[in-house]
């Protein structure tokens, strides 16, 4: 697992060699590793697969500058007999977004988004997430471009006949999120990704929220397409329980 992750990261850094092409704008990338950002392109599609063969897919279409809709297969849920042995379990989801573009109300106002996402179909585990996100961009002649995302999510998870997460106290449902995208001056086609967020884990039939730390590299293969090599570490899973993912995205800014 460690050797596999090292090879992937090394390959990503190799892809990030200096290039003259103008990089894809950070505001056109509505996702880091697992964390959504408040970016609001006209349309986008993310798809990928992990080193265990677990697939994920996300599609979105903007409705002007104030809303967006989408869906896909969300792989943030982990299911297992114990927290340490739980593995990703993709569920079909649909979501709706209300957005406020950057600098709409003032020059320093970040891009804002309020998302409601929930699972559907004949799943034994039902998930709903209400998340509030803010993404601010910073630029500097030496640092390059930074896109900082701060947010919070309110979760509800129901597994079988067990009590839902939403039936418990608010402190069991509400979690913060923090993410960063860094586009160095020296490597205009490369974006370094890092985030800290929480997502549900179902142990037997008991839902809980576990911390997830994600990091990786995004490479701009084309003006409208990117390739990600990312790693997700889940609380209580240990290093061997980490997930390495290869993803591709198409974005229409």
Q: Look up tokens 């803010």; give the residue.
A: 134
CA 216 to chain centre: 12
**Of 32-46, 110-124, 210-224, the least confident:** 110-124
pTM (two decimals): 0.87
Percent above pLDDT 70 for the chain: 88
Distance between CA atoms of residues 148 and 141, nearest Å: 17
User: What pLDDT sits at residue 17?
Assistant: 42
Asked if pLDDT for residue 22 goes beyond 80, the answer is no
HSE toward the beta carbon, residue 146, CA cutoff 13 A: 13
Task: Please tell me whether residue 165 adopts helix, strand or coil conformation.
Answer: helix
Burial code (b: 16+ CB inside 10 Å, e: under 16) for 86-113 equals bbbbebebebebebbbbeeeeeeebbbb
User: What pLDDT sits at residue 236?
Assistant: 86
- Give residue 179's domain range: 2-252
Q: Is the dihedral of CA 155, 159, 32, 29 positive or negative?
A: negative
User: What pLDDT sits at residue 27?
Assistant: 47
Distances (CA, A) of 188 to 14, 121, 123: 13, 42, 42
**CA-angle at 181, arms to 22 and 176, nearest 5°:** 155
Asked if pLDDT for residue 23 goes beyond 70, the answer is no
User: How confident is residue 15, by pLDDT bands cut at 50, 70 and 90?
Assistant: very low
**Of 7-21, 32-46, 151-165, 208-222, the least confident:** 7-21
Convert the pLDDT of each residue in 123-147 to its tens digit: 689 999 999 999 999 998 888 999 9
Asked if pLDDT for residue 19 goes beyond 70, the answer is no
Write the DSSP symbol of residue 11.
H
Domain at 120, CATH number: 2.40.160.40
Cβ atoms within 10 Å, residue 143: 12
User: What pLDDT sits at residue 122?
Assistant: 64
* Total of domains in the chain: 1
């Amino acid at each position: 697992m460690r050797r596999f992750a090292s090879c992937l990261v090394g390959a990503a850094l190799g892809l990030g060699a200096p290039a003259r092409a103008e990089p894809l704008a950070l505001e056109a990338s509505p996702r880091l590793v697992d964390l959504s950002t408040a970016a609001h392109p006209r349309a986008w599609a993310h798809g990928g697969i992990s080193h265990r063969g677990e697939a994920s897919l996300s599609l979105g279409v903007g409705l002007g500058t104030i809303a967006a809709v989408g869906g896909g297969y969300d792989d943030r849920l982990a299911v297992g007999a114990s927290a340490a042995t739980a593995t990703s379990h993709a569920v079909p989801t649909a979501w709706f977004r209300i957005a406020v573009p950057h600098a709409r109300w003032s020059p320093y106002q970040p891009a804002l988004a309020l998302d409601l996402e929930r699972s559907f179909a004949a799943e034994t585990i039902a998930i709903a997430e209400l998340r509030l996100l803010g993404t601010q961009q910073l630029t500097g002649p030496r640092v390059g471009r930074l896109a900082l995302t701060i947010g919070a999510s309110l979760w509800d998870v129901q597994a079988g006949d067990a009590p839902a997460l939403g039936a418990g106290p608010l402190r069991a449902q509400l979690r913060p999120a923090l993410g960063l995208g860094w586009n160095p001056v020296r490597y205009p086609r490369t974006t370094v990704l890092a985030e800290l967020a929480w997502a549900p884990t179902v142990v037997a039939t008991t839902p809980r929220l576990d911390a997830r730390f994600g990091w990786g590299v995004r490479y701009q293969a084309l003006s409208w397409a990117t390739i990600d090599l990312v790693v997700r570490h889940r609380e209580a899973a240990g290093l061997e329980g980490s997930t390495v993912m290869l993803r591709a995205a198409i974005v229409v800014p």
